[in-house]
Amino acid sequence: MHMCGDIDNIIRKGEKMRLRRVHNMLIASALVCSMVVTPVFAEPSSAREEEAQLKEQKEAAQDELDDLQTELNDLISKANQLELDLIAKGEEIIQAEEDLKVAEAKKDEQYEAMKLRIKYMYESSSGTATMEKVMTSGDISSILSQAEYSQQVHEYDRDQLDEYANTVKEIEDLQDTLETERANLEELEAENEVQQKKLNETINDKKDDISNLDEMIQEAAQRAEAEEEAARQAEAARQAAAQAAQNTGGGSTTTNTGGSSSAPSYSVSTGNTVVDRAYGKMGCPYVWGATGPSTFDCSGFVGYCLTGSYSRIGTTYTFLGWPRVSNPQPGDVCTSATHCGIYIGNGQMIHAPHTGDVVKIGPVQSGMVYVRYPY
């Protein structure tokens, strides 16, 4: 009985030892699997997640910026149409003023002719010369003919005077209407300019946001690279410790290329000629639609300075499409979507500002760009 109990004890101890060996083997196998099978980047690092989120924010901000830029382009196009409408309205007003002068001259001529006839008919001191002439005409037929003639003369004078008075009134009414329409267009243009200014501010803010996001994305990418590099080094150390094959990696090189465009070469002689023309029209009144020689609107003034011709070569919208320059020289054009002038150096320009003002020197306005005449 004692021997059987010893045998049982020996069997139980052996079983326990076998179980411990199996348990230790399982633990070792699990450790080896964790070292070899587990990938380096099982889940994204926190920096990579932050980078991805920032890129999504940047993409959304860029979409907003694109929408704002589209809205701004629409406003610029609208401003160009308003400018064209104002130019046309100014030309109509100029023509109406010329027509008014002609009508008034005709009215004065008619009035002088009527006075001469009245003087001739009533030069008798008694004031009855016309009546006596009628009554002494002879038979009744002659009397009636003479009376009818005198009446016709009076009616002709009145009709002519009324006709020219009506013509003058119509032209004056037309001029008032055109002035009102021009004032309304100028108000719309001012509102458009305010909207453009607000949109430009919003666009600049959005660009700043995108720029900040770019910096944050770059910082997050650098942190992610550092984390991933640390993970790679740790994995290499574990593999070396486990006598695994050494891990190798590669790199990539990105080449960024860009292009540049150059504005037409600058000519000192041409630039001085343009500036001289601008100085030569100092003090000329601003008139919508005018291209000289004694009145100008802003784009009409710039066109004259560039070409020496009293004709329009384009609007501010046209000028915005010309080659831009980063180092403006005298004779270049300062322009925005709503105004333009001739650059004369030191941040100053000569321009035709607005209705009620004259061609004069002033500072280059905020938001203007510098372009060069490409022809």
Q: What is the pLDDT of residue 364?
A: 95
What average pLDDT does the segment 202-226 reach? 82
Percent of the chain with pLDDT over 70: 71
User: How far is it, in rounded angstroms, from Cα 234 to Cα 40?
Assistant: 9
- Write out pLDDT tens, residues 270-281: 999 999 999 999
Assess whether 2 carries a catalytic annotation. no
Q: Which of 135-149, 170-184, 192-206, 259-273 has the lowest mean pLDDT?
A: 135-149
Q: Which of 103-107, 134-138, 197-201, 248-252 has the lowest mean pLDDT?
A: 248-252
Q: What is the pLDDT of residue 342?
A: 97
Q: What is the pLDDT of residue 293?
A: 95
> Are the beta carbons of 92 and 143 closer than 8 angstroms?
no
For residue 369, what are the β-bridge partners? 335
Q: What is the pLDDT of residue 34?
A: 40
- Write out pLDDT tens, residues 224-251: 787 777 778 777 777 777 765 444 444 4
Domain with CATH 1.10.287 in the chain: 50-235
Catalytic residue (choose from 284, 298, 305, 334): 298
What average pLDDT does the segment 364-368 reach? 91
What average pLDDT does the segment 210-216 reach? 83
What average pLDDT does the segment 309-317 reach? 92
Q: pTM value?
A: 0.52
Q: What is the pLDDT of residue 33?
A: 40
Q: What is the pLDDT of residue 152?
A: 66
Domain with CATH 3.90.1720.10 in the chain: 268-371
3-state secondary structure of 147: helix
Q: What is the pLDDT of residue 23?
A: 47
Q: What is the pLDDT of residue 125?
A: 39
Can you give the three-state secondary structure of 256-311, one letter per residue?
CCCCCCCCCCCCHHHHHHHHHHHHHCCCCEECCCCECCCCECHHHHHHHHHHCCCC
Q: What is the pLDDT of residue 24?
A: 47
Strand 369-371 and strand 333-335: pairing?
antiparallel
**Distance, C-alpha 116 to centroid of its chain:** 62
What average pLDDT does the segment 211-233 reach? 80
Residue 325 phi, psi (nearest 5)? -125, 140
- Write out pLDDT tens, residues 113-124: 767 766 766 654
- Write out pLDDT tens, residues 7-48: 344 345 445 545 455 444 444 444 434 433 333 333 445 777
User: How far is it, in rounded angstroms, from Cα 92 to Cα 98?
Assistant: 10
User: How far is it, in rounded angstroms, from Cα 339 to Cα 298?
Assistant: 7
Q: What secondary structure does DSSP assign to 155-208, as a single string? A: HHHHHHHHHHHHHHHHHHHHHHHHHHHHHHHHHHHHHHHHHHHHHHHHHHHHHH
Assess whether 23 carries a catalytic annotation. no
Assess whether 305 carries a catalytic annotation. no
Q: What is the pLDDT of residue 41?
A: 38
Q: Residue 121: which residues within 8 A CB-CB, separation 6 or more?
A: 129, 130, 150, 153
Catalytic residue (choose from 284, 305, 340, 351): 351
Q: What is the pLDDT of residue 30?
A: 43
Catalytic residue (choose from 284, 305, 334, 339): 339
Residue (of 84, 107, 231) closest to 169 by Cα position = 107
User: How far is it, in rounded angstroms, from Cα 338 to Cα 211?
Assistant: 28
CATH superfamily of 268-371: endopeptidase domain like (from Nostoc punctiforme) (3.90.1720.10)
Of 28-32, 131-135, 193-197, which one has max mean pLDDT? 193-197
CATH number of 50-235: 1.10.287
